Amino acid sequence: MNKAETIERLLPEIGSPRASGEHFAPSNIALCKYWGKRDAELNLPVNASLSVSLATLGTRTRVEPIDAEQDQVYLNGLLQAPDSRFADRTRRFIDLLRVNQPQLAFRVDTHNNIPTAAGLASSASGFAALTRALVEAFGLSLSPTEQSVLARLGSGSACRSLFDGFVEWQMGQREDGLDSHGVALPASWPQLCVGLVKVDAGEKPVDSRSGMQRTVETAHLYQSWPLQASSDLARLHEAIDSLDFALLGSVAEQNALSMHATMIASWPPLLYWQPQSVAMMQKVWQLRREGLALYFTMDAGPNLKLLFEAASRDAVLAQFPGIEVVEPFAAGAA
């Protein structure tokens, strides 16, 4: 099954865009990671994952039909070259909705309010915001769940950015992926804080799509990953239900390190860490030995995301001055 066939099932009829559309979507950090696809075309995962959305940190995207030969794609106010990776991914995603109207062109304005200095990837919030904006522009009646399915076709983790708070991406069983989408958990954790520690904000040499593929194809260690992820997912639910921070932090950290272990065991090896990433991990472990309830998670890059509760905020900021701190559940956050 390909993307076009999935779109046909999701949206049997797509009319002409009626107007412009503009929406925001939050970025998200996975506590149990999505790593490996069972279907690379449709971004269907090998395992279910669970994330927390970063409230007001994310992407705002505006799309507007224009009378032009091709799309004009702007990122943070700058026109992107048509052959750039960003413009190409944006165009290919819009193509899904203009199958019968290939002459349609859009101006797309994407603004990330994630400080570049935070070193946080923005493809999840980017495809979620683009999905919402296009749904509005085409006047499509798609539920948030269906929009999550659509966003997943742009980038897997984007399906979790359609919702606030804790979100589980249910892997689903169907071949067309219509049951593989984000589901918001009815839980809140007002004390939870996420600290973004930048080690390097530059473009990574291997993107997550190729990184996952390489791991699945070459790392024997990957065989243990689905089991690890499903046990971590169950333990995260337990932690969230009982607001057990030590459990949440330790499961998230172990899950991230297990994912990185599978990457390191690939060939050619895939090590996203830099010496400073390791230094930061060791600093977290030292602080924990000294009694601070502090954990970290990491995605396919060198940066750390710290997990702690509001009571530890001052102590964490004293050790990691200048980091961006997000409170996903603070009043007015979501």
Which residues in this chain contact ligand PMV in the complex, by CB under 6 A?
30, 33-34, 49, 123-124, 155-157, 208-209, 299-300
Residue 134 Cβ vs ligand PMV, minimum distance, rounded to whole Å: 18
Minimum CB distance to ligand PMV smaller for 122 or for 312: 122
| 309-to-28, 277, 326 alpha-carbon distances in Å | 18, 22, 11
Minimum CB distance to ligand PMV smaller for 123 or for 148: 123
Minimum CB distance to ligand PMV smaller for 27 or for 312: 27
In the numeric block, which tokens belong to residue 166?
A: 């804790």
Residue 317 Cβ vs ligand PMV, minimum distance, rounded to whole Å: 25
The span from the CA of 168 to the CA of 51, in Å, is: 6
Residue 105 Cβ vs ligand PMV, minimum distance, rounded to whole Å: 27
Contact yes or no for 133/92 (Cβ under 8 A):
no
User: Rg of the chain's alpha carbons, rounded to an integer?
Assistant: 20
Residue 33 Cβ vs ligand PMV, minimum distance, rounded to whole Å: 4
Looking only at the bridges linking them, the beta strands covering 166-170 and 181-184 are antiparallel
- DSSP E strand boundaries for 80-223: 105-112, 166-170, 181-184, 192-197
Minimum CB distance to ligand PMV smaller for 22 or for 324: 324
Minimum CB distance to ligand PMV smaller for 300 or for 323: 300
For residue 319, the surrounding DSSP H or E stretch is: helix 313-319
Contact yes or no for 177/42 (Cβ under 8 A):
yes
Query: What amino acid occupies position 202?
Result: G
Contact yes or no for 17/138 (Cβ under 8 A):
yes
Contact yes or no for 215/263 (Cβ under 8 A):
yes
Residue 15 Cβ vs ligand PMV, minimum distance, rounded to whole Å: 29
Q: Tokens 């090998």: give the residue.
A: 46
Minimum CB distance to ligand PMV smaller for 59 or for 157: 157
Minimum CB distance to ligand PMV smaller for 53 or for 80: 53
For residue 39, the surrounding DSSP H or E stretch is: strand 37-39
Please spell the DSSP secondary structure of 244-272, one letter per residue.
-HHHHHHHHHHHHHHHHHHHHTSSS----
How many CB atoms are closer than 10 A to CB 148?
26
Minimum CB distance to ligand PMV smaller for 207 or for 324: 207
Residue 213 Cβ vs ligand PMV, minimum distance, rounded to whole Å: 10
Residue 332 Cβ vs ligand PMV, minimum distance, rounded to whole Å: 25
Minimum CB distance to ligand PMV smaller for 148 or for 155: 155
The span from the CA of 90 to the CA of 95, in Å, is: 9
Residue 211 Cβ vs ligand PMV, minimum distance, rounded to whole Å: 8
Residue 101 Cβ vs ligand PMV, minimum distance, rounded to whole Å: 28
In the numeric block, which tokens belong to residue 242?
A: 């009982």
In the numeric block, which tokens belong to residue 222?
A: 């990957």
